[in-house]
Structure 1
Amino acid sequence: MLAVFVARRAASFRNRLQIALPGVALAGCLFGVAPAHAFSLDDVTARAKKLAGQPYAAPVSNLPPVFARMQFADYIKIQPKMDQVEWKGDATPFKLGFYHQGMHFSTPVRISEVVDNRVQEIRYEPGRFDFGDLKLDRAATNKLGYAGFRVMYPVNRADKLDEVMSVLGASYFRVIGKGQVYGLSARGLAINTGLSEPEEFPAFREFWIERPKPQDKHLVFYALLDSQSATGAYRFELRPDNNAVLKVQARVFMRNPVKKLGIAPLTSMFLFGPNQMRDANNFRPALHDSNGLSIHTGDNEWIWRPLNNPKYVALSMFQVNNPRGFGLMQRGREFAAYEDLKDRYDLRPSAWIEPQGDWGRGKVELVEIPTPDETNDNIVSFWTPDQLPPKGTPIKADYTIHWTMDERGAVTKDLAWVKQTLRTAGEITQANLIRHLDGSLGFLVDFEGGPLADLPPNAPVQASFSVGDNAEVIENVLQPNPVTKGYRATLRIKVKDPNKVVEMREALVLDGKQVSETWSYQIPPGTALSTPSQAVK
């Protein structure tokens, strides 16, 4: 079953467009007549609750063969015509473009706009699209529709529209701010992620988008989610800026029991980095959309978990009641850290989830899936409640997603943070001063910022650390780093059984008080190899 799960996740198709499972459309209009009251989340919530009490109706593809057989290289040739975008004649700075059906997007989603509290469907028109050099019978598009939409806004220059949000496939969406390029994705809901059985992908079936007023700097839209096990109502409020902000209100109803429900899920890619030996044939020092999971617990602890590309599926759980925040982050913004002019990993944003209100007892979970290349999203993180409410009672989750390149700004200024984690083969210096690899593993952790820069050279900073039973600590040295005005911890260990996991934690302490976030690292089974010839590919 594990192989089935990995294969299912590996089918996640990226290439700068998130593709998972298709969104689907309802058979009929949910709101056939304009409501007499202001359209709101309550309208969608009522529909989601009613839908949860009905048997699940699986979507049926309406794609003709020429679209169903389409490959990605042809699909991306279908682009929206800029002179046919929604609201092109309106003064609002926001415009809407659409994604066409095709390939995995086998059923349409219904998209309506809300104007003065009146709901009107945005009808599919093939004339909105440029099909490039595709050899298509134009009659084949007569009964097709939209697969999703794009939000355009002049975030970089006042005279140029930029795509700042993409909503496409299942419940996936991506957002970028000024100077950023698309990287990791968010989802509406995750079901049974990280289990040996196939994951369930809920889909946004219908959207309602409020037409912004000319002076508005935000865009509001609603979504109805449906799947075999759950339904949901969502309100989104997008504010593009240097760091884009997306406010989310979710109301989820369970249709059937599930083994695991993931709230505010994030999906990303990690192939390799300085903490995991890379392919010697690749010129890039690092290749990832995110390189760590950051958690701010309800008990006010800050945790940093560097990511891995494991040999087998790895699941990490952090008991976090009433989380204050968590996110998949891209720490390290220097171009030299990636050396990639084509994909610009240095410009891909982090996503920081900030819960609103108390979420109760639960866990932040991290799923790491092996991948041979960067085309698969192999990292998933989410919060899962310890208990679900009874059927008919919604799970209420309000949160804000910050899409940012200011990772340091997400961590409290009162603590030092982990700037980088370096992995190396462990070594000893012989009597003749020649270095000798001794079969151990070495980790160098650079802490910087917060109170460290103002400490005197002789400050009694100490390293508080713990290592699991599957490893022996050979050396743990803490020394000031004059280059960063921080501290470098060097931890050398010998793994007892490389087929078992190793957990490690380290933090800086001064006068009995923790002055850094907690570095929490896992060596997955099968990856405790210390020489370059044994490096994980």
Structure 2
Amino acid sequence: MSSVKPAIFSGGTGLPVDRRTVLSMGLAAGAAAFAGPALAQNFATQAMQNALGEGQRFNATTLTDLAKLLAKRPYQAPPNDLPDPFNNLTYEQYIGIRAQPNAFLWSNEGRGFTVEPLHRGFAFQNAVSLFTIEDGLVRRVVYDRSRFDYGRLNVPATLPDLGFSGFRVFGDAQNDRTREIAIFQGATFFRSSARGQNLGVMARGLTLKAGDPKGEEFPLFRAFWIEQPAARTDNLVIYALLDSESVTGAYRFTLRPGDVTIIDAELTLFPRSAVENWGVAGMTSTYLFGPNDRRNVDDVRPAVYESGGLQIHNGNDEWIWRPLSNPETLQISAFVDPSPKGFGLIQRDRDSSAFLDDDQMFERRPSLWIEPIGDWSPGLVQLIEIPTESEINDNVLTYWRPKQPLQPGAEVSLAYRQFWCWLPPERVGLATVAATRVGRGRTNTSRRFMVDFTGEMLKQTQTVLELKAMLSTAPGTVANLRLWPYPERKLYRVGFELEPGNESACELRLVLEAGGKPLSETWLYRWTP
């Protein structure tokens, strides 16, 4: 696997968080059982204090060296010592804890950003050390009981240094003062959004052993170093130290909010042990039901999902659209690629009538699009769809899985750009899938499909007349193919029936062609009973 060396290695009042967001971000963190005080005196914490602690001059190379050093020693999980009453909080109690205005970093300093340290508790048991970098020097953000409002909790008059569970970034500009730009909290999870959106899809710093029979491994960010932004700046730089049983790593994130929020991620990993199933640029989202998947649904809403599909621009310059589903059994799909140009979980439905949910407003959830920086070499985009009966569960996971496994003693560097957006920045230039609907066919075993394509080229009558719908399935058979062109609506509808027979899964493929060349993105679908 080729190594791309990123540049890093040269050298108010908090807003309430909804229950679904808190639960989904905390589930994996709790499962990982990485809990403990920020100042636990184990080797990792002591090494961190000595190298990049209070008063030290920050250097990105030192952070990389620290990660490399940790990889040569056995993993030490921080002890779980969160005291009462924080070790057994309900959701309502946890969201009642608010940072006081004087707890926010750089508030009202006109630096473009303010940062809110987040308390530990509820699903967020892990202790995270927070530091700032000011004039090149490291300053530790010290936990102070007086800087939090605990609501109705009965909190002791004195508390030890509990550390934090993460932090939240707000805009500090005139038109962005209360906008939540990003939140880093729970394992290596973080979220962001474009202007005008709600939080939705969630990114991961690293994915390890997802879908493995022995269970997934959840790495954590032990510490963050947040660079004090210059006055009225438009970007925020964050460094992080990753640690887990199998891997350590040094990270650099550069946040640039706006109508589209861009986060550049640069990382270097140091494996402690061999890991075959690993991935970067991972993201999770929710798909409960929609027009293509309404099994056993009794709901007043027509659809419930944060992301409608996985979009891929592969190294062969093919654009792929894979609608998501909520399967009866765990489904793992692999899209092999010599070197990807981009991929992401996309929300294309922006009309409220698609969901009719005035609380969640799924039409305002962000799409997350990934573009590699440099050559990632061969691998695959892996998609995991997990059965769920609850909309609070993130049941869809996708990430880039390199072909080469991680090996102890190796050093792997990668970089990529995230676009938290309404639509991916690079337009396909082809007709795109606007809708996928699935229902009962003409027999007890057949399924009826309707796939709508839309695009400017579809308003041209001559182009529509030349179109051919190239449809295939393996296994199974397709029949009753029908086409409905609607040039006045820039729409082309393809209908057909799938007869799976006794098969447990069928892989469907559909693309519109004219003159032997694709005029649409490729629609892929996995049917399961």
Q: Could you tell me the TM-score, scaled by structure 1's length?
A: 0.88
1:44 matched to 2:63: yes
1:172 aligned residue: 189
In the TM superposition, what is the alpha-carbon distance from 1:237 to its structure 2 partner? 0.3
Cα 1:279/1:163, change in 2 over 3 Å: same
Per-residue deviation, residues 124-183 of structure 1 (Å, max 9, x unmatched)? 1122221111233343x333121100000057x627321110100000000012101110
Mapped partners of 1:458, 1:242: distance in 2: 35
* Alignment match of 2:135 (pick from 99, 108, 116): 116
1:31 matched to 2:36: no
2:434 aligned residue: 419
Determine helix, strand or coil for the equivalent of 1:46: helix
* Alignment match of 2:227 (pick from 191, 195, 210): 210
Per-residue deviation, residues 470-500 of structure 1 (Å, max 9, x unmatched)? x2212222221345312111121112125x1
Mapped partners of 1:90, 1:235: distance in 2: 24
Question: How many corresponding residue pairs?
Answer: 496
Cα 1:458/1:193, change in 2 over 3 Å: closer
Cα 1:89/1:195, change in 2 over 3 Å: same
1:493 matched to 2:510: no
Mapped partners of 1:152, 1:111: distance in 2: 16
Q: How does 1:23-422 map to 2 (within 5 A)?
A: 25=38, 26-28=44-46, 29=49, 30-32=51-53, 34=55, 39-139=58-158, 141-154=159-172, 158=175, 160-277=177-294, 279-388=296-405, 390-407=407-424, 409-413=425-429, 415-422=430-437
Cα 1:14/1:402, change in 2 over 3 Å: farther
Per-residue deviation, residues 29-60 of structure 1 (Å, max 9, x unmatched)? 14246555xx4532221111111111111121
Mapped partners of 2:72, 2:400: distance in 1: 25
Please tell me whether the aligned partners of residues 435 and 451 of structure 2 are also in contact (alpha carbons under 8 angstroms): yes
Please tell me whether the aligned partners of residues 68 and 104 of structure 1 are also in contact (alpha carbons under 8 angstroms): no
Mapped partners of 1:474, 1:179: distance in 2: 44
1:6 aligned residue: none
Cα 1:455/1:410, change in 2 over 3 Å: farther
In the TM superposition, what is the alpha-carbon distance from 1:302 to its structure 2 partner? 0.7
1:477 matched to 2:482: yes
Per-residue deviation, residues 242-266 of structure 1 (Å, max 9, x unmatched)? 1111010011111111230011110
Aligned structure 1 segments of 4 or more residues deviating by more than 4 angstroms: 22-26, 33-36
Q: Could you tell me the TM-score, scaled by structure 2's length?
A: 0.90
Cα 1:23/1:491, change in 2 over 3 Å: farther
Mapped partners of 1:491, 1:252: distance in 2: 47
Aligned CA-pair RMSD = 1.9
Per-residue deviation, residues 249-308 of structure 1 (Å, max 9, x unmatched)? 011111111230011110111101111125552111110111111111011011111111
Mapped partners of 1:468, 1:148: distance in 2: 46
Cα 1:515/1:129, change in 2 over 3 Å: same
1:504 matched to 2:523: no
Please tell me whether the aligned partners of residues 457 and 490 of structure 2 are also in contact (alpha carbons under 8 angstroms): no
1:433 aligned residue: none
Larger mean CA deviation between 68-77 and 308-317 belongs to: 68-77
Mapped partners of 1:259, 1:487: distance in 2: 43
Equivalent residue letter for 1:173: F
Mapped partners of 1:380, 1:314: distance in 2: 11
1:16 matched to 2:34: no
Mapped partners of 2:435, 2:237: distance in 1: 37
Mapped partners of 1:421, 1:238: distance in 2: 34
Please tell me whether the aligned partners of residues 70 and 103 of structure 1 are also in contact (alpha carbons under 8 angstroms): yes
Cα 1:439/1:295, change in 2 over 3 Å: same
Please tell me whether the aligned partners of residues 147 and 169 of structure 1 are also in contact (alpha carbons under 8 angstroms): yes
In the TM superposition, what is the alpha-carbon distance from 1:79 to its structure 2 partner? 1.7
2:14 aligned residue: none
In the TM superposition, what is the alpha-carbon distance from 1:458 to its structure 2 partner? 5.5
In the TM superposition, what is the alpha-carbon distance from 1:27 to its structure 2 partner? 2.5
Cα 1:83/1:119, change in 2 over 3 Å: closer
Determine helix, strand or coil for the equivalent of 1:44: helix
2:448 aligned residue: 442
Per-residue deviation, residues 388-424 of structure 1 (Å, max 9, x unmatched)? 36433322110001001125x44322x1111111112
1:462 aligned residue: 468
Cα 1:64/1:488, change in 2 over 3 Å: same
In the TM superposition, what is the alpha-carbon distance from 1:450 to its structure 2 partner? 4.9
1:530 aligned residue: none
Please tell me whether the aligned partners of residues 417 and 450 of structure 1 are also in contact (alpha carbons under 8 angstroms): no
Mapped partners of 1:299, 1:159: distance in 2: 40
Equivalent residue letter for 1:465: L
Please tell me whether the aligned partners of residues 23 and 204 of structure 1 are also in contact (alpha carbons under 8 angstroms): no
